[in-house]
């Protein structure tokens, strides 16, 4: 193969296309609409190319690589390589990038200031390109460069509405935490590069150039570095601030793809780049995953800002992905290649699923926020009548993220359950026998709480009567914003009903990773989910779907036969009058859960009556949960850093003489060092 048909040319072509469209868009910045079309259209085309490249790598199994630019004088070559793991993440990027770009065409025209929209479109394009480079880089220099470019573009996009103080704070928090994270990555990569004597991933990440305690230290550095980007608890605090602050289409991209770069890093480096994983590593990842999943969903339950709620669900889903990775690594460390393949496949499947349904939910939330002018779900309500299509797609997304059968969220969570059960049954190690059931129980709790949370989110937002003026006047989004949601909702269904198709590719991805050997029985036909060998039964979602449809039909027929008559009458209001004020609110809905988990939330509640004791004119209720991590982890940390800076200020005295004294002290001590050594 050669020329345009050679997949090796597609990635440079996609990047060139992005660059060209960015240049064009910047040139047209005075005409916002044309500029948006240039940037987003170019991004769409480039994502198509990326998707095609990813697909060809997944289908043929042959890695594609090449050099993007080289500098002969310094011998520096910026090269890329797309193997199956990269291709999987690139596929996710392309699959979500195209609908989001299309949605942005409509959203950026109305949702934000028109003057600013070209820059958001350009920022989006830069971010897409940077993430693409992160997934495709095959050297430390290119990876870190793309990583930082991604961080900067993302921070700029978060700060789009920089007039709002909270937004500036969110962007700053994101930048600060990303800096620390990148510092960890730099340290880790430099240790590895020094040991391997090369900057190329093929040398650095093949086997383990370091061993013993240094290997553990490097693992922890990478875990911290990638964990911040992925939003793993307790490194997550930037995420619920930054996601809501960004424009909704950017939130969708951040949650769907950008935080997955952290997961990609954990896969590429922590799990498969540092030699065979130590048993402790898998346990640590499992613990991080379990904590992130449960706490993420618990905090999400208490949020009444729609986008913040979705942001906490991102943390939860990252937790689920890590549970899969942790199961895989634990299995790998005890040499169970087939079990590892199930965990890895579940994890990677969930990466795709989360991108699809969370992208969908954020796009829907963007439409809702644009239509109502508020992010607070207590001020919404009754939107199902006013925005029927958005409501339908949001419902599909909610069902998918809750892990309900027939949709994609169910498949990956089911696979993960199978991994835990399979591991429990087959592994004699006490550690696995203890940990896997616990992790499975946490996963089950998470799924149930997620379902509760989305009952709240969907019900309070879309059902009953509007509680605010914005909600009463809301209109359906334009088709250019609905079509991408329709596509993603359809993907939720397809990925849920035809898992075999995805599992076939995932088997290839898993097989390409060192130490992982997927069982041949993993894929049992197009429609089945089968975890592995043995007596574990496989599941065929279309059959389940058929059963559900039959059962529903049967129930319908029975109810018809029973002769129930449809009677239209006003809802009984206990003798009072029903209005939007008497609706079930989000606070009320989540209150029982707040009480059950009060040990975790540590809520403060305050009831205040205004007026006479027995005939109050007004009752005010306020409930807050304690921001545990912000207060007890980051509070002391911030204060410590500030106190240290205060002390260090003495050195930075602003006195010329002091600075000169530092110079002479340094010179004399260097001279004395020379003397002492020579």
User: Is residue 379 a contact partner of residue 467, using CB atoms and an 8 Å limit?
Assistant: yes
Position 113 contacts other proteins (CB under 8 A): no
- Rounded CA-CA distance 377/570 in Å is 25
Dihedral angle computed from the Cα positions of residues 91, 7, 39 and 488, in that order, rounded to the nearest 10 degrees: -20
Position 657 contacts other proteins (CB under 8 A): yes
- Rounded CA-CA distance 217/36 in Å is 45
**Nearest partner of 236 among 283, 173, 281, 285, judged by Cα:** 173
User: Is residue 494 a contact partner of residue 405, using CB atoms and an 8 Å limit?
Assistant: no
Beta bridge partners of 677: none
Instruction: Tell me the C-alpha to C-alpha distance, in Å, between residue 476 and each of 42, 117, 249, 369.
Output: 27, 21, 17, 11
Q: Half-sphere exposure of 486 toward its Cβ, with a 13 Å CA cutoff?
A: 9
Q: ∠ at Cα 446 (347, 244), nearest 5°?
A: 85
Query: By C-beta, is 642 or 661 nearer to other proteins?
Result: 661
Of these, 564, 572, 615, 675, which contacts other proteins (CB under 8 A)? Answer: 675
- Rounded CA-CA distance 527/543 in Å is 9
CB of 642 to other proteins, least distance (A): 16
79's enclosing H/E stretch is strand 76-82
71's enclosing H/E stretch is strand 64-71
- Pattern of binders to other proteins over 403-442, x per CB under 8 A? ----------------------------------------
User: Is residue 375 a contact partner of residue 305, using CB atoms and an 8 Å limit?
Assistant: yes
The piece of 161-169, 384-392, 505-513, 670-678 that touches other proteins (CB under 8 A) is 670-678
The piece of 52-60, 128-136, 472-480, 653-661 that touches other proteins (CB under 8 A) is 653-661
The piece of 163-171, 405-413, 521-529, 651-659 that touches other proteins (CB under 8 A) is 651-659
Query: By C-beta, is 549 or 642 nearer to other proteins?
Result: 642
Position 642 contacts other proteins (CB under 8 A): no
Query: By C-beta, is 430 or 656 nearer to other proteins?
Result: 656
Position 661 contacts other proteins (CB under 8 A): yes
**Nearest partner of 305 among 360, 224, 251, 386, judged by Cα:** 251
Position 547 contacts other proteins (CB under 8 A): no
Query: By C-beta, is 569 or 651 nearer to other proteins?
Result: 651
Position 197 contacts other proteins (CB under 8 A): no
Neighbours of 281 (CB within 10 A): 23
Tell me the two tokens of residue 206: 């093949």
The piece of 383-391, 428-436, 586-594, 647-655 that touches other proteins (CB under 8 A) is 647-655
Position 653 contacts other proteins (CB under 8 A): yes
Tell me the two tokens of residue 498: 């035809």
Tell me the two tokens of residue 393: 């797609």
The piece of 28-36, 98-106, 430-438, 655-663 that touches other proteins (CB under 8 A) is 655-663
Instruction: Tell me the C-alpha to C-alpha distance, in Å, between residue 212 and each of 185, 275, 328.
Output: 19, 11, 22
The piece of 147-155, 250-258, 554-562, 665-673 that touches other proteins (CB under 8 A) is 665-673
Position 668 contacts other proteins (CB under 8 A): yes
Whose tokens are 């250019």? That residue is 480
User: Is residue 156 a contact partner of residue 124, using CB atoms and an 8 Å limit?
Assistant: no
Query: By C-beta, is 614 or 675 nearer to other proteins?
Result: 675
The piece of 157-165, 406-414, 467-475, 657-665 that touches other proteins (CB under 8 A) is 657-665
Position 650 contacts other proteins (CB under 8 A): no
Position 5 contacts other proteins (CB under 8 A): no
Question: Which alpha helices (H) appear in 70-164, and where do they start and end?
Answer: 84-110, 117-136, 140-158
Query: By C-beta, is 615 or 675 nearer to other proteins?
Result: 675
CB of 162 to other proteins, least distance (A): 23
Query: By C-beta, is 575 or 654 nearer to other proteins?
Result: 654
Query: By C-beta, is 642 or 672 nearer to other proteins?
Result: 672
Query: By C-beta, is 74 or 655 nearer to other proteins?
Result: 655
How many residues does this entry show for the chain?
Answer: 678
Position 596 contacts other proteins (CB under 8 A): no
Of these, 430, 562, 566, 656, which contacts other proteins (CB under 8 A)? Answer: 656
- Rounded CA-CA distance 271/217 in Å is 14
Query: By C-beta, is 564 or 675 nearer to other proteins?
Result: 675
- Rounded CA-CA distance 295/260 in Å is 19
Query: By C-beta, is 543 or 671 nearer to other proteins?
Result: 671
Position 672 contacts other proteins (CB under 8 A): yes
Position 651 contacts other proteins (CB under 8 A): no
The piece of 118-126, 268-276, 547-555, 652-660 that touches other proteins (CB under 8 A) is 652-660
User: Is residue 230 a contact partner of residue 333, using CB atoms and an 8 Å limit?
Assistant: no
Residues near other proteins (CB under 8 A), total = 16
The piece of 78-86, 222-230, 506-514, 661-669 that touches other proteins (CB under 8 A) is 661-669
Of these, 566, 650, 651, 674, which contacts other proteins (CB under 8 A)? Answer: 674
Position 644 contacts other proteins (CB under 8 A): no
Query: By C-beta, is 574 or 674 nearer to other proteins?
Result: 674
* 437 Cβ contact partners less than 8 Å away, ≥ 6 residues apart: 420, 424
**Residue 593, burial from CB neighbour count under 10 angstroms (0-12, 13-18, 19+):** middle
User: Is residue 90 a contact partner of residue 135, using CB atoms and an 8 Å limit?
Assistant: yes
Position 645 contacts other proteins (CB under 8 A): no
Contact residues: other proteins, CB under 8 A: 653-657, 660-661, 663-664, 667-668, 671-672, 674-675, 678
């Amino acid at each position: 193969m050669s020329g345009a048909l050679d997949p090796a040319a597609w990635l440079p072509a996609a990047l060139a296309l992005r660059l060209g469209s960015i240049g064009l868009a910047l040139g047209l910045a005075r005409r916002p609409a044309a500029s948006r079309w240039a940037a987003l259209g170019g991004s769409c085309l480039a994502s198509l190319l990326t998707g095609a490249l990813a697909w060809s790598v997944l289908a043929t199994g042959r890695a594609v690589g090449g050099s993007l630019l080289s500098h002969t004088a310094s011998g520096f070559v910026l090269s890329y390589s797309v193997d199956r793991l990269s291709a999987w993440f690139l596929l996710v990027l392309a699959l979500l990038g195209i609908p989001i770009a299309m949605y942005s065409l409509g959203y950026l025209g109305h949702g934000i200031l028109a003057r600013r929209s070209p820059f958001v479109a350009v920022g989006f394009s830069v971010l897409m390109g940077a993430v693409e480079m992160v997934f495709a880089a095959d050297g430390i220099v290119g990876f870190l460069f793309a990583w930082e470019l991604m961080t900067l573009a993302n921070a700029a996009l978060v700060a789009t509405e920089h007039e709002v103080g909270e937004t500036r704070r969110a962007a700053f928090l994101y930048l600060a935490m990303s800096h620390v994270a990148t510092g960890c990555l730099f340290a880790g990569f430099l240790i590895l590069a020094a040991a391997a004597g090369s900057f190329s991933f093929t040398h650095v990440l093949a086997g383990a150039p370091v061993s013993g305690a240094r290997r553990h230290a490097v693992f922890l550095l990478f875990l911290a570095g990638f964990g911040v980007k992925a939003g793993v608890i307790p490194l997550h605090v930037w995420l619920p601030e930054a996601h809501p602050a960004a424009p909704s289409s950017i939130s969708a991209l951040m949650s769907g793809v950008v935080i997955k770069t952290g997961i990609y890093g954990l896969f590429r480096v922590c799990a498969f780049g540092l030699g065979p994983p130590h048993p402790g590593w898998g346990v640590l990842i499992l613990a991080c995953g379990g904590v992130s999943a449960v706490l993420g969903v618990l905090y999400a339950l208490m949020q009444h800002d729609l986008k913040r709620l979705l942001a906490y669900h991102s943390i939860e889903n990252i937790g689920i992905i890590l549970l899969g990775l942790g199961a895989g690594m634990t299995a790998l460390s005890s040499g169970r290649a087939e079990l590892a393949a199930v965990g890895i496949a579940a994890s990677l499947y969930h990466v795709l699923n989360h991108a699809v349904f969370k992208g969908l939910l954020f796009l829907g939330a963007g439409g809702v926020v644009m239509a109502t002018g508020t992010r607070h779900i207590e001020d919404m309500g009754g939107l199902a009548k006013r925005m029927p299509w958005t409501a339908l797609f949001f419902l599909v997304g909610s069902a998918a993220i809750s892990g309900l059968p027939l949709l994609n969220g169910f498949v990956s969570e089911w696979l993960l359950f199978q991994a835990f059960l399979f591991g429990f049954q087959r592994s004699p190690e006490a550690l696995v026998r203890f940990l896997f059931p616990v992790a499975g129980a946490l996963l089950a709790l998470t799924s149930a709480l997620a379902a509760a949370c989305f009952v709240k989110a969907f019900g309070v937002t879309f059902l009953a009567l509007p509680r605010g003026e914005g909600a009463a006047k809301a209109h359906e989004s334009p088709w250019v914003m609905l079509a991408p949601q329709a596509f993603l909702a359809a993907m939720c269904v397809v990925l849920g009903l035809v898992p075999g198709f995805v599992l076939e590719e995932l088997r290839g991805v898993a097989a390409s990773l060192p130490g992982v050997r997927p069982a041949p029985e993993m894929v049992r036909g197009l429609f089945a989910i089968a975890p592995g060998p043995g007596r574990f039964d496989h599941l065929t979602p279309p059959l389940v779907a058929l059963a559900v449809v039959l059962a529903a039909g049967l129930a319908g027929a029975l109810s018809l036969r029973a002769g129930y008559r449809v009677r239209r009458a006003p809802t009984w209001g206990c003798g009072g009058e029903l209005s939007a004020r008497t609706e079930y609110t989000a606070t009320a809905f989540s209150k029982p859960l707040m009480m059950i988990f009060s040990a975790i939330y540590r809520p403060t509640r305050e009831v205040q009556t205004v007026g006479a004791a027995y005939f109050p004119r007004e009752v005010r209720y306020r409930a807050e949960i304690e921001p545990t991590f912000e207060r007890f982890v980051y509070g002391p940390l911030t204060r410590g850093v500030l106190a240290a800076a205060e002390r260090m200020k003495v050195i930075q005295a602003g006195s010329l003489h002091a600075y000169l004294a530092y110079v002479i002290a340094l010179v004399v001590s260097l001279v004395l060092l020379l003397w002492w050594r020579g």
